[in-house]
Amino acid sequence: MSAGVAFSQGMSLGKSEFAGKLMKQSAATIAPAKFQNAAVSVRAAGYDEELVKTAKKIASPGRGILAMDESNATCGLRLASIGLENTEVNRQAYRQLLVGTPGLGEYVSGAILFEETLYQSTTDGNKMVDVLTQAGIVPGIKVDKGLVPLAGSNNESWCQGLDGLASRTAAYYKQGARFAKWRTVISIPNGPSELAVTEAAWGLARYAAISQDNGLVPIVEPEILLDGSHGIDRTLEVAQKVWSKVFFFLAENNVLFEGILLKPSMVTPGAECPERAAPEKVAEYTLTLLKRRVPPSVPGIMFLSGGQSEVEATLNLNAMNQSPNPWHVSFSYARALQNSVLKTWKGQPENVEAAQKALLVRAKANSLAQLGKYSAEGEAEEAKKGMFVKGYTY
């Protein structure tokens, strides 16, 4: 009913009669119109059941994720640390060492790969994704295109890679990947500005929706960098703000919470803060953050190590699993699983078996930490050394 018609009818009818007629008109036309325009979220390819199944498999008791998705440039830095050139042959040798470790699937449920590795084969002709799958490890893929300066911010950055993401994730699924990772970062010393937090949260949400549309479980990772001299309370304050916005935008983009995994930073003091926090305090603050911001429908929280020492990252994870949690609380470590491996391997073929055993030692330690049963007794001094790098890029 138009405003003009309503007015003219109202002039010829009594107030009560006119009101009744208008209410009937509203029920007959306005309400159905609202219903007809209501948005119903349906993922294009209908992967929901598979997404939930994949997420649950990765978030299985006593297992976590091996993050081996370093870009070729970053992998080159790792190789350089043991005196090796950054060549495809050397990258292949190192990645083959990792994925081919016997028994790794007992402790590791997923492995994040760089694009080169997803399409790479071992020296005996087996696809690396097939080696992982046969070991019961779900292959994943890094899909972001790295960090670039964020114009208009306080010297902060944003993560690029949404252009062409739909076609890339479809191709990665076809190649055997079943989950994805997108890393963006938040810097506490640089603000963080409202612009940087919003950009990070929106980018993660769009990536997550696109990944789910193409069958990949998205790992949502807004890494709050360790850089800075701030205390643990400031980290918690920023983390709460970031995760609040992340989940708001995830919901706005109709992301299926049961089909995602989170990869948060633990709530710790800044790396340059003189007051350090014991594992029990890190656990208390981190679990407080999760309980305030993360819905219980999310199946897994897979923490990044962020430059902590191998032992520190494991101790903190263990402290978080001393009582039941609504989610699977586990690990998605790169340096905290690989540091000892690289130093044992040294690029020498005769050291491969020893390096693989070193990987199993770290993987088992974190498996026990996921179950709340880890003890640092007998850990090597090398594993206790911190690996923080200021302004670290991946």
Supply 393's token pair. Answer: 């890029």
Q: How far is Cα 54 from Cα 76, in angstroms, rounded to an integer? A: 31
Contact of 180 with 227, CB cutoff 8 Å:
no
CA distances from 16 to 21, 80, 116, 379 (A): 9, 85, 74, 83
Element (H, E) at 210: helix 194-213
Q: How far is Cα 369 from Cα 382, in angstroms, rounded to an integer? A: 19
Closest CA to 192 of 225, 231, 148, 147: 225
Contact of 289 with 321, CB cutoff 8 Å:
no
Of 142, 181, 263, 310, catalytic: 263
Supply 333's token pair. Answer: 């470590």
Catalytic residue list contains 221? yes
Of 221, 310, 312, 379, catalytic: 221
Contact of 147 with 158, CB cutoff 8 Å:
yes
Quick one: how far is CA 189 from the chain centroid? 22
Q: Are strands 108-113 and 138-142 parallel, antiparallel or unpaired?
A: parallel
**Residue 142 CB-half CA count within 13 A:** 23
Name the one residue in this structure whose structure tokens are 């009744």: 20
Catalytic residue list contains 357? no
Q: How far is Cα 75 from Cα 83, in angstroms, rounded to an integer? A: 12
Q: Please list the residues that pair with 67 across neighbouring strands.
A: 112
* Residues annotated as part of the active site: 221, 263
